[in-house]
Amino acid sequence: MNGLKLVSTGSAMPKGVVTNEDLTKIVDTSDEWITTRTGIHTRRRCGEGESHTQLCLAAARQALERAGIAPEAVGVCLIATFTGDHLNPATACILQKELGFPEDTVCFDLNAACSGFVYALHTAQCLLAAAPRKFGLVLGAEVLSRVTDYTDRSTCILFGDGAGAAVVEWGEDYPSIHAVLGCRGDADVLYTPGVNAEAPSYIHMEGQSVFRFAVETVPRCISQVLEQAGLGVEDVDRYVFHQANQRIIDLAMRKLHLPPEKCTGNIAHTGNTSAASVPLLLDELVSTGALRSGQRALCVGFGAGLTWGGALLELK
Ligand code: COA
């Protein structure tokens, strides 16, 4: 068996905090509605002088520093995102130069929406197996405020900005992440129009359809990862859910009888940060000692595509 271990994590958040109360001043909503329907109290928003690239650089630097590895040790740099500063070059290419990775480091951005970080972990595992250097830098980063319509109360209450990073290491005697990835092409219930769009490129969402999709897919994905790994629910120390809606997490938790203390999240102060959500939560768990060396986290994401993905990560 060969696979990945999580070596270290990092994160970066913009300074600006948007409270539910702030949103009541721009759309017809209330703190009570947002809190009970989503679990979100505050989210972050990039302001003047803050950018996607800066968030990625800060999160990446922190993760690399904590890993104690030199840039020359990095074989792969992947960023899961759909809100980079440029359509190209990929933000990962900018990191190559800024952080001093060797020129043969495989650097690219990947778009699997909110499942992106899990997709990137799987991609890193595959690429690192063939790479000359065995450390990978994997990020999830979004500036969703750029594609959020602040006149649409059904979406603008949900989304936030941020970047999370992870240094992973590939080893011949390391466990596989046992990734389960899926996609059901559906361009109608959750999408962001592209550069050819006539209207501004905002996230469009049919909330209830996405809710039903998530409640069906997430528990099944978790069960498949566990089955593939030959593990039981009790063998996982932390379930790291994509932070989209606390009610989705609660339903998945109940369906699989997961202990609530293993499923704590951070949606209350991050909102839904799409691809950044899983690595941001991982960083919080590692930084606070809630996920410790030798312990196992099961990460699960879902989102536009529609896509979903689950994977196991053991902390080195
Ligand atoms: N404040 C107050 N009322 C709001 C509101 C807001 N911010 N947003 C919507 N409403 C209203 C609706 O207009 C509707 O009013 P009506 O009954 O008069 O027509 C009512 O609240 C119920 O709307 P509905 O869409 O059924 O609410 P919901 O319980 O499904 O909650 C979401 C909406 C978006 C929170 C929920 O559907 C959701 O979280 N879906 C999943 C979204 C998700 O995870 N997306 C990201 C995937 S990565």
**CA pair distance 134, 73, nearest whole angstrom:** 7
Tell me what pLDDT residue 199 has: 77
Whether residue 306 is preceded by a cis peptide bond, meaning omega within 30 degrees of 0, is yes
Q: What is the mean pLDDT of residues 44-52?
A: 96
Q: How confident is the model at residue 168 (pLDDT cuts 50, 70, 90)?
A: very high
**CA pair distance 25, 31, nearest whole angstrom:** 11
CA 252 to centroid of ligand 1, rounded, Å: 19
pLDDT higher than threshold 90 for residue 197: no
Q: 79 with 305: CB under 8 angstroms?
A: no
CA 154 to centroid of ligand 1, rounded, Å: 5
Radius of gyration of the chain (CA): 18
CA 37 to centroid of ligand 1, rounded, Å: 7
Ligand 1 atom at minimal distance to the Cα of residue 214: 44
Tell me what pLDDT residue 302 has: 98
Instruction: List residues near ligand 1 (CB under 6 A).
Output: 29, 33-34, 37-38, 114, 153-154, 157, 205, 207-208, 210-211, 214, 244-245, 272, 303
The widest CA-to-CA distance across the chain, in whole angstroms, is 55
Q: Which of 20, 122, 242, 299 is flagged as catalytic?
A: 242
**CA pair distance 243, 273, nearest whole angstrom:** 8
Q: Which of 46, 107, 114, 156 is flagged as catalytic?
A: 114
242 given a catalytic annotation: yes
Q: What is the mean pLDDT of residues 70-81?
A: 98
How does pLDDT run across 86-130, given as a tens digit for each residue? 999 999 999 999 999 999 999 999 999 999 999 999 999 999 999
By alpha-carbon position, which residue is closest to atom 38 of ligand 1? 207
Q: How confident is the model at residue 195 (pLDDT cuts 50, 70, 90)?
A: confident
Residues whose CB is less than 8 angstroms from the CB of residue 22 and which lie 6 or more positions away in sequence, other chains included: none
Ligand 1 atom at minimal distance to the Cα of residue 23: 7
272 given a catalytic annotation: yes
Tell me what pLDDT residue 113 has: 98
Tell me what pLDDT residue 48 has: 93
Closest CA to 98 of 50, 63, 56, 135: 56
Tell me what pLDDT residue 51 has: 98
Tell me what pLDDT residue 196 has: 79
By alpha-carbon position, which residue is closest to atom 42 of ligand 1? 207
CA 184 to centroid of ligand 1, rounded, Å: 23
Q: 105 with 93: CB under 8 angstroms?
A: no
Q: Which two tokens stand for residue 114?
A: 């909110």
CA 122 to centroid of ligand 1, rounded, Å: 32
Residues whose CB is less than 8 angstroms from the CB of residue 153 and which lie 6 or more positions away in sequence, other chains included: 23, 27, 28, 29
pLDDT higher than threshold 80 for residue 266: yes
Tell me what pLDDT residue 84 has: 97
Ligand 1 atom at minimal distance to the Cα of residue 302: 48
Q: What is the DSSP string of 16-66?
A: EEEEHHHHHTTSS--HHHHHHHH---EEEE--TT--HHHHHHHHHHHHHHH
Among 18, 221, 245, say which to mutate for ligand 1: greatest number of ligand atoms within 8 Å of CB. 245
Q: How confident is the model at residue 290 (pLDDT cuts 50, 70, 90)?
A: very high
pLDDT higher than threshold 90 for residue 198: no
Query: How distant, in Å, are the alpha carbons of 13, 145, 150, 230, 248 from that of 20?
Result: 18, 15, 13, 43, 20
Is the model's pTM score more than 0.95? Answer: yes
Q: What is the mean pLDDT of residues 262-268?
A: 98
How does pLDDT run across 126-161, given as a tens digit for each residue? 999 999 999 999 999 999 999 999 999 999 999 999
CA 244 to centroid of ligand 1, rounded, Å: 12
CA dihedral 24, 29, 30, 32 (to 10 degrees): -150
By alpha-carbon position, which residue is closest to atom 46 of ligand 1? 244
By alpha-carbon position, which residue is closest to atom 1 of ligand 1? 29
